[in-house]
Amino acid sequence: MGEAVQRRFLGLTAAVAALGMTATLSACGGGDAGSGDVTLKLVAADYGTGPENSSEKYWSGVASGFEKEHPGIKIDVTVLSWKDVDREVAEMVKAGNAPDIAQIGAYADYAKAGKLYTADETLAIRTTANFLPSLTYAGKVDGTLYGLPFVASTRLLFYNEKLFEQAGLDAPETWDDISSDAAALKAKGVDYPFALPLGQEEAQAETLMWLLSGNGGYTDDVGSYDIDSAENVATFRWLRDNLVGKGLTGPVAPGKLDRAKAFEAFTAGKVGMLNGHPTLMDEAEAKGVKVGMVPLPGADGPTKGSMGVADWMMGFKENGHRKEIGAFLDYAYSDENVLEFAEQYDLLPVTGSASAAMETDKKHQKLHEFLAALPNSTLPPFGKTSWATVSDAIKKKIGSAVAPGSNPESILGEISAEATQAEAAE
């Protein structure tokens, strides 16, 4: 996902303040015998695009600041690309060499296996209470918070203002608007009137946005998978009949269109509408594309809740450094740190106090619409260990549900059956 982080979590409580006493640290946290010093191994994902904005610079700065305040604790920072970081951490854990802290894309498997500390075991109460509720909910397994939200993002419908002006169009508010606007854009020769990337790269996210706009989703009110619900089937029938079937999604079939290619076409001025995030907004405007943004239109009006995305921080039990991990996490979630990361990568803070600070800062005005959507956002079911399997099934099959002549009910039913089986195996 790559973008934002938040940190505001006051000064350390009395228990954490005791961390200044290295002898106490080693006794409580399992430091090196005799030395009183503890080294925490931190493995984090790189949100940067090159050496000049690598996340390693950010984490090195946080580590340095923390070490000055806690002379008995050292932070060993390793930053890996998103292509490698989840796999590398999994291999470390399997080899019995887990990091103390990981900032990666998934936490549920480790939580279910009993390898993670809970938030209650590590964080100050005010740190935990500062996380946005929707993100806290998404970080829980069986009602207990293990995955600490690190950075977040939401999605809005993007449209090319120049192409809309040329076609005499206003911003869409409903599905019917999307269909009629896309037809007008096609008549003007726009390559991708509505880019619908349901290829394997990020199909699970694009799918969730549409399900939410049709008053559906991946799960029901009690958190069980409900992928082939009547609402979800109706949504994909609409996409099949009113966008794809009418030739309004461009020259590449949605099932073969990856998000990166759709985004690339948008920044090149070839797309009328698509679902986007803050990074795409910056990339498009840097190339001279003026971007309009509205909440994703629904069947009868704007969708009330956006899709949210988050990445996660977690503390591993293996080395027994519970208190030291807690001290570092409380420090990392200070407003100053959270906002610095969010600002650098155009992401959204995960804490209430940092979000409030960003909301009142005019320099972040371009992010305010995304920020406003975050509290009511719906995230994928990250707390299910089955989600990785289900997500993979969606990526492989969902594109065929919108192909002309397809049977969305049958395809959603296949995915739903896989989800039920995967959930039963949790």
Phi-psi region of 147 (alpha: psi -120 to 50; beta: other; left: phi over 0): beta
pLDDT at 171 over 80: yes
With 0-12 CB in 10 A as exposed, 13-18 as middle and 19+ as buried, what is 87?
Answer: exposed
pLDDT at 278 over 80: yes
pLDDT number for residue 406: 96
With 0-12 CB in 10 A as exposed, 13-18 as middle and 19+ as buried, what is 404?
Answer: exposed
DSSP 8-state assignment for residue 148: E
pLDDT at 326 over 60: yes
The helix or strand, by DSSP H or E, that contains position 140, with its residue range, turns out to be strand 140-141
pLDDT number for residue 36: 53
CB 194 within 8 A of CB 249: yes
In this structure, what is the dihedral angle of CA atoms 395, 401, 405, 410, given to the nearest 10 degrees? Answer: 120
Instruction: Give the amino acid at 78.
Output: T
Distance CA 196, CA 254 (A): 5
pLDDT at 287 over 70: yes
pLDDT number for residue 23: 30
Q: What is the pTM of this model?
A: 0.83
- Scan for tokens 């228990």, then name that residue: 15
- Scan for tokens 């690190």, then name that residue: 150
pLDDT number for residue 49: 80
As annotated, the residues of the chain forming the CATH 3.40.190.10 domain(s) are 14-153+309-373, 156-305+386-424
- Scan for tokens 């049977």, then name that residue: 407
pLDDT in tens, 220-234: 988 999 999 999 999
pLDDT at 75 over 90: yes
Distance CA 302, CA 296 (A): 6
Distance CA 150, CA 351 (A): 9
Q: Residue 173 contacts by C-beta under 8 Å, 6 or more apart in sequence?
A: 294, 297, 301, 302
pLDDT in tens, 192-244: 999 999 998 889 999 999 999 999 999 998 899 999 999 999 999 999 999 99
% of the chain surpassing 90 pLDDT: 83
Helix, strand, coil % over all residues of the chain, rounded to 5: 50, 15, 35
- Scan for tokens 């009949």, then name that residue: 241
pLDDT number for residue 201: 87
What ranges in 100-189 are assigned the alpha helix state H? 108-112, 119-122, 125-130, 133-138, 161-166, 175-187
Kindly give the pairing relationship between strand 156-160 and strand 192-194.
Answer: unpaired
Helix (H, G, I), strand (E, B) or coil at 248: coil
Mean pLDDT of 259-279: 96
Backbone angles phi, psi at 41, to 5 degrees: -95, 120
Q: Residue 106 contacts by C-beta under 8 Å, 6 or more apart in sequence?
A: 86, 312, 382, 387, 388
pLDDT number for residue 24: 30
CB 108 within 8 A of CB 382: yes
Nearest to 219 by CA among 402, 390, 9, 17: 390
Strand partners, 149: 312
Sheet holding 156-160, edge to edge: 192-194, 271-276, 156-160, 291-294
Residues in the chain, total: 426
pLDDT in tens, 344-378: 998 999 999 999 999 999 988 889 999 999 988 99
pLDDT at 17 over 70: no
Helix (H, G, I), strand (E, B) or coil at 42: strand
Q: Evaluate whether the domain defined by 156-305+386-424 bears CATH number 3.40.190.10.
A: yes
- Domain 14-153+309-373 falls in which CATH fold? D-Maltodextrin-Binding Protein; domain 2 (3.40.190)
